[in-house]
Amino acid sequence: MQQNSSPLNVLITRPTKKAQVLAERLAAADIAYINQPLFDYQPLADNHTSKRLLVNSDIIIFVSVAAVEFAHTTFSSKHWHYQHIIAVGKATKAALQALGINNVRCPDQENSEGILALPLLNESLQAKSVTIVRGDGGREFLATQLKKTGAKVNYLESYQRVWRTFAKDISKQWFTQQINCIVVTSNALLEQLIQLTINNHEQTLANYWQNQCIWLVASQRIADKASQLGLANIMLSDGASEQAITTTLQQIKINK
């Protein structure tokens, strides 16, 4: 069961909107792909909770584009009140700017560690109220570190992921479609993909996904998790942006 010498053929598993943007970039780069989102977003927070947190915070931190969009849908950004606003990365900053919010801080390193390195968060945060806007669940590192500085931290979970249901033989379908590279932008996606491709599947096929397929991951944290789960062919992208992923895939294509 060999496909590693075949032309690059990428499985995109991001939610529909982001998947479409990445697909357009891959098409422009002449990289074959199959677009198969594994989950969809739906609103989670109610108007009352959103209003309480978005008008009473000293600092608001958005950890994704979806966090911005669903927070605005639930409680209009025209009414947000804050001293400082932070976006985890350039795409999230652009989503805020699209709402007319321009005084956005954004780290070069697009993750929790990058946010914590911002000068604003290295000042005294004693008794400051910080709201982290995100989806349901996720990493606790940012909140834990901020609480150590004396900040009062709240979560506003503005949306939730709804996982799609797939046929039991979906990994066989992907193999038949000659998928040989899977893009993974979160640990939640990684764990779901492991269930779909490796766990409780026929050994020869599981071996292909585990040892031959390229797993392109968006952070060192995901790479570490992938290694712990036994994946052998892990490639690291310089972040989760469409440009970073496309650039890495172009390099993989050249080297195949």
pLDDT in tens, 56-78: 899 999 999 999 999 999 999 99
Domains of the chain: 9-38+166-255 (3.40.50.10090), 41-162 (3.40.50.10090)
Neighbouring C-beta atoms of residue 149, cutoff 10 Å: 16
pTM: 0.88
What percentage of the chain carries pLDDT values higher than 90?
Answer: 85
Residue with the bigger pLDDT between 201 and 234: it is 234
pLDDT of residue 252: 92
Q: Cα-Cα-Cα-Cα dihedral of 22, 25, 27, 32, to 10°?
A: -50
How far apart CA 118 and CA 111 sit, in angstroms, is: 11
Q: pLDDT digits over 148-196, tens only?
A: 999 999 999 999 999 999 999 999 999 999 999 999 999 999 999 999 9
How far apart CA 253 and CA 33 sit, in angstroms, is: 12
